Amino acid sequence: MNKEYNPFSLEGKTILVTGASSGIGKSIAIECSKMKAKLCVIGRDIVRLNETLSELEGEGHRALQFDINENEKIKSFISELPELNGVVHAAGIIKRLPLKFISKEDFNEILDTNLVSASQVTRELHKQKKLKTGSSIVFISSIASDFASIGNIMYMASKGAVNSFSKGIAFEFAKSNIRSNVIQPGMVVTNLTKVINDKEIEEDIKRYPLGRYGTTQEIAYAAIYLLSDASAWVTGSKIVVDGGITLR
Amino acid sequence: MEQKFITLFKEAIDSENDQISMDTRFRELDEWDSLAALSIIAMLDEEYDIIIDGNKFQKLETLSEILNYISENK
Ligand SMILES: NC(=O)c1ccc[n+]([C@@H]2O[C@H](COP(=O)([O-])OP(=O)(O)OC[C@H]3O[C@@H](n4cnc5c(N)ncnc54)[C@H](OP(=O)(O)O)[C@@H]3O)[C@@H](O)[C@H]2O)c1
């Protein structure tokens, strides 16, 4: 055997990652580059996005500034992209409000970013035949789809919808041999979790059976599996990566 | 100003407690919990256009301190 055994290699694959300017999406891009993928990284903040680009291993990566909620620009944006073997939808936002303070605008903002825009990006990629046969689509959902926490109604609903959406397209795209799966992370400290105060975090960590929060890399490893050919027979599934918190 | 704030405070946390005054240490109220905290933060945004993050809010103890925060950050 002259080539090293690695069923999780992403060599020869081009992968698009949204939300790559921060947190989990950033880590996914970096870890995928270490697995030899070529990356197209997307985010709104060009400074942080370029930081991600500079941390990628290997050559031939691209950083593209784009707000996925700019629906009218999605078509032309997607047309600029190369053919892909994988997409990771990691762009996402959170807003914690009790129901009596939730307006339609608040709800739409969360649903647009976490669900509808990801659906439109996927739709355009498919329409423009950017997803090669054998492609893998990964959604970064959350354990919040099934487990309640105070004030988290809009986020929970958006992630539940993402889970169902992924199953829907897994079924619809199966005949094109395109897979779709979901990762449900537990708590990982990123910019997103700044909505939770330090004291709450201190208390919450104690509830984790494995005794700590996760790291962004630990979510990225699940994404690598789902993007690699090791998961060629896995579609419509949900992988929980949560330090055991949902055992409770 | 103060009376209006007390009313909004009580409405936000669904309380009919007549003892609540500007000096009340609200974290000691029976009705205080994490939902109440989020509700006050949301009320400050809706009624006073004040966005306060959880860590800053954590440092406030009485209704007066919240009202001071509002006037200092208007
Ligand atoms: N952290 C956790 O504990 C946790 C747990 C479960 C699931 N998740 C999920 O993981 C995903 C990543 O979250 P994170 O924790 O890494 O948060 P983060 O550090 O705040 O990163 C969020 C990313 O989404 C991007 N984004 C947001 N709105 C966008 C838009 N309209 N257009 C383009 N990009 C947009 C941001 O781009 P800019 O910064 O450039 O604006 C940023 O790159 C989210 O879907 C989140 O729900 C996180």
Q: To which residue do tokens 């190369």 refer?
A: A82
Is the pLDDT confidence value at A59 over 90? yes
- Which pLDDT score, from 0 to 100, does residue A1 have? 55
- Which pLDDT score, from 0 to 100, does residue A3 have? 77
- Which pLDDT score, from 0 to 100, does residue A213 have? 97
- Which pLDDT score, from 0 to 100, does residue B74 have? 83
Q: What percent of chain A has pLDDT over 90?
A: 96
What is the length of chain B?
A: 74
In single-letter form, the type of residue at position A230 comes to A
Ligand 1 atom nearest the C-alpha of A144 is 6
User: How far apart are the CA of A89 and the centre of ligand 1, in A?
Assistant: 9
How far is Cα B10 from Cα B14, in angstroms, rounded to an integer? Answer: 6
Which of B34, B54, B52, B27 has the alpha carbon at shortest distance from B68?
A: B52
Ligand 1 atom nearest the C-alpha of A46 is 40
CATH code, residues A14-238: 3.40.50.720
Domain boundaries, chain A: 14-238
Q: Which helix (H) or strand (E) holds B3?
A: helix B2-12
Banded model confidence at residue B57, pLDDT cuts 50, 70, 90: very high
Question: And the tokens for A114?
Answer: 């976490």
Size of interface A-B (CB pairs under 8 A): 34
Q: What percent of chain A has pLDDT over 70?
A: 99
The complex scores an ipTM of 0.87
Q: Averaged over A40-53, what is the pLDDT?
A: 98
CB contact under 8 A, B43 and A101: yes
- Which pLDDT score, from 0 to 100, does residue A15 have? 98
Q: Averaged over A48-59, what is the pLDDT?
A: 98
For all residues of chain A together, what is the average pLDDT?
97
User: How far apart are the CA of B8 and the centre of ligand 1, in A?
Assistant: 33
Which of A218, A119, A100, A195 has the alpha carbon at shortest distance from A164?
A: A119
Angle formed at CA B51 by CA B49 and CA B52, multiple of 5 degrees: 140
Ligand 1 atom nearest the C-alpha of A213 is 3
Summarised one tens digit per residue, pLDDT across range A155-190 is 999 999 999 999 999 999 999 999 999 999 999 999
Closest residue of chain A to B52, computed from CA coordinates: A195
**Contact yes or no for B33/B12 (Cβ under 8 A):** no
Summarised one tens digit per residue, pLDDT across range A100-148 is 999 999 999 999 999 999 999 999 999 999 999 999 999 999 999 999 9
The phi-psi region of residue A48 (left if phi > 0; otherwise alpha if psi is between -120 and 50; otherwise beta) is: alpha
Question: And the tokens for A150?
Answer: 């105070």
Give the neighbor-by-neighbor strand order of the sheet with A179-185: A62-65, A38-43, A14-18, A84-89, A131-140, A179-185, A238-241
User: Which residues are within 8 A (CB) of B31 and not within 5 positions of it... i.e. 6 or more apart?
Assistant: B13, B14, B15, B17
Q: Is A208 a catalytic residue?
A: no
In single-letter form, the type of residue at position A58 comes to G
Best A95, A99, A100, A189 residue to mutate vs chain B (most B CBs within 10 Å): A100
- Which pLDDT score, from 0 to 100, does residue A2 have? 59
- The helix/strand/coil state of A239 is strand
For the ranges A231-235, A241-245, B1-5, B24-28, the lowest mean pLDDT is seen at B1-5
What is the length of chain A?
A: 248
Is the pLDDT confidence value at A225 over 90? yes
Summarised one tens digit per residue, pLDDT across range A21-31 is 999 999 999 99
How far is Cα A65 from Cα A68, in angstroms, rounded to an integer? Answer: 10
Banded model confidence at residue A194, pLDDT cuts 50, 70, 90: confident
Which of A172, A200, A205 has the alpha carbon at shortest distance from A188?
A: A205
Closest residue of chain B to A193, computed from CA coordinates: B54
- Which pLDDT score, from 0 to 100, does residue A80 have? 96
Q: Is B58 touching A (CB cutoff 8 A)?
A: yes
Q: Pocket around ligand 1: residues whose beta carbon is below 6 Å from it?
A: A 18-19, 21-25, 43-45, 48, 67-69, 90-93, 113, 140, 142, 185, 187-188, 190-193
